[in-house]
Amino acid sequence: MSTLDLDSLIALAQSRRATRHFKPEELPDGVLSKLLEAARWAPSGYNLQPTRFVVVTDPATKAKLRLACMDQAQVAEAPAVVVFCGDRAVVRHNLGAMVAAERANGSMDAAYEAQMRKFIGLAFGTGPLGLGWLGKAIAPMLRPMLSIPSIPAVHRNFWLGKQAALCAMSFMLAAEAAGLNTCPMEGFDPTRLRKALGLPRGLVPMIVVPVGYTATPGVTKTRLSLDRP
């Protein structure tokens, strides 16, 4: 049972704000692992868990990362930077392990496993038997009669970006709960970033999140009202 009441959760969300400058102060021992644990439990499509966390703490690597991130200072100033990446080969890498864990946990029976494997094969397949580009071609014709979901095989990076965003939000709320500050960033050159981190070809950088203690405390934020036109 959760010990966090709704009002406290709303207050936590209201207090979180992107910070552009960080103090040169290291993170407490073990806290980064706890933040990543919170991110690991974020939901993902089909429970495939395609997000990979690349943690950067080395000053020299952060300097390269800063250049890839349009020379934004927070990347070099923060004691740690987490790059949330999407695994384009997630079905091959994770499906078997996910199914085995779900079966062992009692969360999936044989019938549901068969259904899941069949659907994932179609949704992510790019070969002759998968939906792939054929699905993209026929979707406009079927949409007047049926609801057509976004097909990961066709829009792979878009799908991966949504999964990474869920993990990043969990990470940032956990950081706020730990008294830390973060800054979600989309402003980066993916090619230079991949080179700076030596990422394998199948990992796509989606969101960059520096984490640490803000050097500009007391700054608040605003949000538009729910009842706006």
What lies within 8 Å, CB to CB, of 45 at 6+ separation is 152, 159, 162, 163
For residue 1, the model assigns a pLDDT of 46
The answer to whether the Cα torsion of 156, 157, 158, 163 is positive or negative is positive
The yes-or-no verdict on residue 142 having pLDDT over 50 is no
Buried b / exposed e over 161-182, threshold 16 CB at 10 Å, is bbbbbbbbbbbbbbbbbbebbb
For residue 145, the model assigns a pLDDT of 52
- Residues 153-195: pLDDT tens digits? 778 999 999 999 999 999 999 999 999 999 999 999 999 999 9
SS3 27: coil
SS3 58: coil
The yes-or-no verdict on residue 31 having pLDDT over 80 is yes
Q: How many residues are present in the chain?
A: 229
For residue 219, the model assigns a pLDDT of 86
For residue 87, the model assigns a pLDDT of 98
Whether the model clears a pTM of 0.85, i.e. scores above it, the answer is: yes
* Residue 152 DSSP class: T
Torsion angle defined by CA atoms of residues 38, 43, 46 and 47, in that order, rounded to the nearest 10 degrees:
20
- Residues 97-127: pLDDT tens digits? 999 999 999 999 999 999 999 889 888 886 5
**What is the β-pairing status of strands 203-212 and 80-87?**
antiparallel
The yes-or-no verdict on residue 147 having pLDDT over 60 is no
Residues 95 and 173: beta-carbon distance below 8 Å = no
Band (pLDDT 50/70/90 cuts) for residue 150 is low
Across the range 64-86, mean pLDDT stands at 98
For residue 170, the model assigns a pLDDT of 98
Band (pLDDT 50/70/90 cuts) for residue 151 is confident
To the nearest whole number, what is the mean pLDDT of the chain?
A: 90
H or E segment to which residue 203 belongs: strand 203-212
Residues 135 and 151: beta-carbon distance below 8 Å = yes
Across the range 56-70, mean pLDDT stands at 97
